[in-house]
Structure 1
C-alpha cells in the first residue's frame, strides 16, 4: 500500500482529455505517490486550457510538478529530483536483442517441456529457429524502415537492393521450416545464404572499416549497435544451416 507522509504535498498539472491521457502525467502521479506525497492533481482537459497553462508558466510541455511552490518540471525532471535514473532515448542499447533471445530461449525450453522432453540439442535447435522467427517479425513490422538501415552495411543488399526487402521473408521461412523440421533442402540454403552474407557484412563494417552503425536485426527503428551480437546472430544461422544439412544426410 502506498502511504503518504504528513506535510509532503505536491501540485501536478497534467493533460486528461477526452481523446488523450498523457502517459507521463500518470507516471508523475504514480512516482509522487510512491515517494509519499499527497498530490493536488489538476487536469488540463482541453488543448486551449493546456496552452494557457504553458504560457502562464513559460513551459513547452506537460506534465508539470510543483513542490513547496517550486516548479520541478516534467516527468524526467521529477525523476532526477528524486534521484532516479532517466533513460537516454537516443543511447545505443542491446536491450531489444537480449529480450528476444531471453524469450526465445524460454520458448524453446517450454516447447520441449510440452512434448515431454528436455532434450538439450533440440532445445538449442528451437532456440535458433524461434529467434529467427521473432527477429523476422520485428523486421516485417516496418519493412521500409528495416531496408533503409540494412542497406547501410549489408554488402549483398548494396549490390541487389531487392534483397533488403526479401531478407526478413527468407529469415522467417527458414525459421519456420527449422521449427517444423521440414524441407531441410530449402531451409538450410536460405539460412546459409543470409547468415553468411550477414556475418561477412557485419565483420567488414565493424572490424575492418571500423564504422559505428545501428543494427537492423530487430527492425529499422532500433538503437542496437552493430557489433559482436549482430555477428553472433548471423553465425548462429550459419551453424544451424550446417547442422540441418548434417542431420539430413547423416544416418
Structure 2
C-alpha cells in the first residue's frame, strides 16, 4: 500500500529551501505519494510556523503524523544523520586521494605509466600544496587553531601565518624539482617541528584536539594522519637532499 506524505516547504521567488528539495527527493525515492505544498511568502511561512508550533521548514507529515524537518525525516526512514560537531578524517583522506590521482596522471602523461618514482614525489609535493591552499583560505582561523598544539607557534605567534606559505611554496618547488637547496630545508624544518608538536600533544599529553591541517574550520582530529602529513614532508625533504647530493657526486665523477 502506497503511503501518503505531505511536505510544506519554502519556495519563494528569491529562495528555494535546499532542505525542502532534499526531503522531497527522499520521500519520492522511498515510493511515497507526495503532496507538495509551497510556502511562497514570508507571511505564509510565519503563519505556518505559528500554526504548527515549529521553528523551521520544511515540515513533513506522513499519514497525518508530523515527522519534522529533513533530519527528522532521515531518522524516521532509518537513515544516518550527520553530526556537524563530530570529528572525521574524510577531508584529509580526500586530499590524499586527489593528489595521488593527480600525481599518477602526471606520471602517465609524461612517462607512459602511472607508477614511477616521480609519482611518489609529486604525491607528497602536491599534497603539501593542496594542504597549504586549504590553510590559506582562512589563515586567521588556521593560525588560531594551530596555536593549540604547535610548539613554535606558541613561542612565536606569527609562525602560524608563515607556515601555510612555507608549506605551499616548498611543495611548489618540489613539484617542479627546482631550488632543492631552499625547498628541502623548509620542508624539513616545518615537518620536523610539526611532527614533534603533534606527537607531544597526542601521544604524550593525551590531548583531544582538532587538527588545523586542512584549515581552521575542520573537524579533523589531531592524530595519526596529522602526524603522517609532517612525516611525509620530512621524508620528501630527506629524499630530495639525497638525490641532489648523489646527483652532484655523479656529475663530479664524470
Q: TM-score normalised by the shorter chain: which range applies?
A: over 0.9
Indicate whether 1:106 and 2:101 are aligned.
Answer: yes
Indicate whether 1:140 and 2:167 are aligned.
Answer: no
Query: Which residue, 37, 55, 62 being the options, matches 1:67?
Result: 62
Could you tell me which residue of structure 2 aligns to residue 247 of structure 1?
Answer: 243
Could you tell me which residue of structure 2 aligns to residue 46 of structure 1?
Answer: 41
Indicate whether 1:21 and 2:19 are aligned.
Answer: no
Kindly indicate whether the alpha-carbon contact (under 8 Å) linking 2:150 and 2:197 is maintained by their aligned counterparts in 1: yes
Deviation at 1:80, TM superposition (A): 1.0
Indicate whether 1:211 and 2:207 are aligned.
Answer: yes
Kindly indicate whether the alpha-carbon contact (under 8 Å) linking 2:107 and 2:116 is maintained by their aligned counterparts in 1: no
Gaps of 5+ in 1: 1-5
Q: Quick check: 177-186 or 44-53, which moved more?
A: 44-53
Whole-angstrom distance in 2 between the partners of 1:194 and 1:175: 12
User: Taking structure 2 as the reference length, what is the TM-score of the superposition?
Assistant: 0.94
Could you tell me which residue of structure 2 aligns to residue 10 of structure 1?
Answer: 5
Residues 228-239 of structure 1: pairs in structure 2 closer than 5 A:
228-239=224-235
Indicate whether 1:86 and 2:81 are aligned.
Answer: yes
Deviation at 1:116, TM superposition (A): 2.9
Deviation at 1:48, TM superposition (A): 2.2
Deviation at 1:43, TM superposition (A): 1.3
Whole-angstrom distance in 1 between the partners of 2:215 and 2:43: 38
Could you tell me which residue of structure 2 aligns to residue 3 of structure 1?
Answer: none
Secondary structure, counterpart of 2:36 in structure 1: strand
Secondary structure, counterpart of 1:110 in structure 2: helix
> How many matched pairs?
246
Whole-angstrom distance in 1 between the partners of 2:65 and 2:142: 45
Secondary structure, counterpart of 2:9 in structure 1: strand
Whole-angstrom distance in 2 between the partners of 1:216 and 1:18: 39
CA RMSD of aligned residues (A): 1.0
Could you tell me which residue of structure 2 aligns to residue 36 of structure 1?
Answer: 31
Whole-angstrom distance in 1 between the partners of 2:124 and 2:67: 48
Gaps of 5+ in 2: 248-254
Could you tell me which residue of structure 1 aligns to residue 250 of structure 2?
Answer: none
Whole-angstrom distance in 2 between the partners of 1:169 and 1:110: 26
